[in-house]
Chains A and B, each alone.
Chain A
Amino acid sequence: MVRTNKDRLIEMAVGGEVWPPRITSPYRPNAQGEAVVFMGTAGIILNARVGDRAYGWAADHVEPGVSIRNAQDGPEHALHYLACIGNEAIVTSGEAKGAHGVVTGEHAHIMVDFEPEVMEQMAPGDQILIRALGIGLEFLDYPDIYIRKISPELLEAMRIEEIGNGKIRIPVAAEIPPYLMGSGSELGADYVDQDMMTNDRATLAELGLDNLRIGDILAVKDHDHTFNRGYREGAVTIGLINHADSYMTGHGPGIMDIICCASDKIEYYVDTENRPNLANYLGIGNSKHT
C-alpha cells in the first residue's frame, strides 16, 4: 500500500442544496452550427449514473445523479474546493432526509450518487451535507506527485503499485492524447474539470475513445495539471470522467484531474479486464455495466 498522510487530514462538513436547471435562451449552437436545446446540467438525473456511458445521450454535459450547489458565494466555493470524490453525502432535509450518497465529481455543480429510490424522493432545495475529507492528501514517498480532490478511500481502491525508481503505476480505462484536451484550460486546476474535445468522431473511433463511461479513470499524456492545465512533454495527468459528452465544439466528457506529475514519475496501463471506474471501485452507480 502506498503510504500517505491520510491520518493527518481534517474532516470538515460542507453543504449545498439540490439545484434545479435554469435556462435563458432555449437554443445554443452545436459543433455543426445548428441550434440545439441544451439539457443535462443540474437537477436530479435518475437514469444517468456513474458507470453509465459517457456518449450517446440526447443531452449536453449530463451531470449524473444529483447536482448540488450552495446559494451563497463563499460557502459555494468551499463546497467546490473541499468536497472530494468518494466523500459521504447525507440528505439533511426533505422527504429523503437521512439518506446517504457518495460524491462523484465536481463540475458546474457537485455531483452526488444516490440510489434511485432515494432520488425519487428528492426535490430542488433539499439540503445535502458532505463530510469533506481528502484535501491535503499527499504521498509520503513521492513528493513530485500531486493528489487532488479524491478521498483516501478512493485512492486506496485505485490499485496503485510502487514500481521502484521513485515511480508508481496506475491502471486506467484509456489514454487521452494531449491534442484532445479542450475547455477548462483557462481555469485553475483546483477548480472543476477539463473537457475532452469530441467534435472529431473519426479520431475518437480511431483511438478507441468512443466507448468511455462516466467514472472512468484515464491517463492524459503530456499534460501537467499541477498548477493550471497545460501541455508539457513527459508529464502525466490521471483524471476521472465526471460528466457526459457535449454538443459544443471544444467540449466533451469532463476529465477531473485527480493525480498528476510534471515529470515521468507516473506510469499507467490500460486495464481491459477490470475496468478502472469509480462505480467499480466504490460499488456505486451502475457498476453492473462496467
Chain B
Amino acid sequence: MVATNQDQLITMSVMGVVISPSYPGIPAVPHQIDRDGKPRLLPHLGGIVYNVALGDSVYGWAGDNIEPGVAIKASDAGANQALNVFACVGNIAVIMSGNAKGAKGIVTGKSGRFAEHVILHFESSVLEQLAFGDKIVVRAYGVGMSVTGFPGIHLKSMSPDTFEAMRIEENSGKLTVPVSAIVPPELMGAGAGLTSESGAICIQSMDENALKRNGLDTLRLGDIVALQDVDSAWGHGYKKGSVGIGVVSSTDSIKAGYGPGVTLMMTAPGGEIDPMVVEGTNLASLLGIAGARD
C-alpha cells in the first residue's frame, strides 16, 4: 500500500443544485459548429442524462460532451468555485431535497471552462426522481492529499477512496499506475493552459487514425487514462517526461480541439509515474459502483 497523509485531510460539505441544460436565445442559432464546419443542433453537456452512464462508450452518441448522470452547479460564483475545486472523484454525494432526498451517489468528474459543473453518478431509479434545483451535498474529501515519499507528485480532484482502489504500486522509486490507455501529447486539446484544480482536459478526437493508433477508439466513461508529456501541476501544459493520470468523465465532442473530457487526478512533472496499460481499468469496477454498465 502506497501511503498518503489521508489522516490529515478535512471532510467538508460543498453543495450544488441539479441544473438545466442551457442554450442561447434569439437570433435562434443554437448550433455547435462541427469539425468540418457543419452546424449541428445536439444535446450538449448536462443536466440530468438518463441513458448515458459510467461504463458506456464515449463515442457514437448524438450529443456533444455529454455529462453522464447528473450535473450540478452552485449559483454563487464563489461557492461554485469551491464545489468545483474541493469535490474529488470518488466522493459521496447526498441528495438533500426533492423526491430522491437521502439517496447517495458518487462524484465521477468535472467539466471545463464553459460549464464548471461537477458530474455525479446515481442509479437509474434515483435519476428518475430528480428535478432541477434539487440540492446535492458533496462530502469533499481529498484536497491537500499527498503521497508519502513522493513530493514531486501532485494529487488533484483525487479522493483517498479512489487512490486506494487504483492498485497503485511503488516500483524502484516510481509509482506504477494501471490505466486503460495512454494519450500522446499532440491529442491533448481544450483545457490546455487552464486550471488543473477543476475542469477537464479533452482528448482530441478529430483524427480517427490517431485515435486508433493509440488505442483510444474504445474509451469508456470512467476509464482511467495516462496523459503523456503533460505537466498539470499548475495548469495543464506540455513538458516532456511528465505524466498525468485522469478519469474519462464526459463523452466525445463534434468540435475540433475537443473530445472526451478527462478529469485530472495525479500529475508527476518529473516523471515519477509509470503508467501500465491494463485493459478495462475503469472507475466503476475499481470502486464497485452500482448502476454502472458492464
Q: Could you list which residues of chain A lie within 8 angstroms of chain B, going by C-beta atoms?
A: 29-33, 177-186, 188-189, 195, 197, 199-200, 202-203, 222, 224-233, 248-251, 262
Contact partner, B256, options A31, A227, A251, Cβ 8 Å: A227
Q: Which residue of B lies closest to A248 (CB)?
A: B235
* Sample (21) of A-B pairs whose CB atoms are under 8 Å apart: A31-B237, A179-B185, A184-B193, A199-B238, A224-B35, A227-B33, A227-B34, A227-B36, A227-B37, A228-B255, A229-B257, A230-B206, A231-B210, A232-B35, A232-B207, A233-B209, A248-B234, A249-B234, A250-B192, A250-B194, A250-B235
> A228 to B114, alpha carbons, bound, how many Å?
15
Indicate whether A250 sits within 8 Å of B189 (C-beta atoms), given known contacts A230-B35, A230-B206: no
Closest to B37 in A: A227
> Looking at chain A's contact residues, is the secondary structure mostly helix, strand, loop, or mixed?
loop
Q: Is the interface of B mostly helix, strand, loop or mixed?
A: loop
Q: Is B86 an interface residue (CB 8 A)?
A: no
B216 CB to closest chain A CB, in angstroms?
A: 12
Cβ distance B209 to chain A, nearest Cβ, rounded Å: 7
- A226 B231 Cβ-Cβ under 8 A: no
Selected from A197, A222, A232, the residue in CB contact (under 8 A) with B192 is A197
Across the interface, which residues of A come within 8 angstroms of B207, CB to CB?
231-233
Q: How far apart sit A188 and B257, CA to CA, in the bound complex (Å)?
A: 10
Q: Chain B contacts of A251 at CB under 8 A?
A: 193, 235, 237
Please determine whether A249 and B240 come into contact, CB atoms closer than 8 angstroms.
no
A228-B33 in contact given A186-B194, A186-B257, A233-B207 (Cβ < 8 Å) = yes
Q: Is B229 touching A250 in the complex (CB atoms < 8 A)?
A: no
Which residues of chain B are within 8 angstroms of A189 by Cβ–Cβ distance? 256
- Asked whether B114 lies within 8 Å of A186 as measured between CB atoms, the reply is yes
Within 8 A of A (CB), among B184-198: 184-194
Question: Chain B's nearest CB lies how many Å from the CB of A261?
Answer: 13
A sample of 10 more A-B contacts (CB under 8 A), given A185-B193, A189-B256, is A31-B235, A179-B185, A181-B192, A224-B35, A224-B206, A229-B256, A230-B189, A248-B234, A250-B193, A250-B235
State whether B192 touches A182 (Cβ < 8 A).
yes
Q: How far is the CB of B151 from chain A (nearest CB, A)?
A: 12
- CB proximity of B239 to chain A, nearest CB, Å: 5
- 7 shortest A-B CB distances, which residue pairs? A183-B193, A250-B193, A250-B237, A230-B256, A228-B256, A230-B257, A186-B190
The smallest C-beta distance from B133 to any residue of chain A, in angstroms, reads 28
Determine if A182 and B238 form an interchain contact, defined as CB atoms under 8 angstroms apart: yes
Report the separation of the CA atoms of residues A184 and B114 in the bound assembly, to the nearest whole angstrom. Answer: 13
Cβ contacts under 8 Å, B156 to chain A: none
* A259 to B232 Cα, complex, angstroms: 31
* Max chain A Cβ within 10 angstroms of own Cβ: one of B206, B207, B235, B236: B235
Q: Write the nearest CB–CB distance from B194 to chain A, whole angstroms.
A: 7
Q: Is B113 an interface residue (CB 8 A)?
A: yes
| Chain A residues with CB below 8 A from B237, complex form | 31, 182, 197, 199, 248-251
B16 in the interface (beta carbon within 8 A): no
Q: Are B186 and A179 in touch, CB under 8 angstroms?
A: yes
Chain B proximity of A247: nearest CB distance (Å): 10
Alpha-carbon gap, A232 to B240, bound state (A): 21
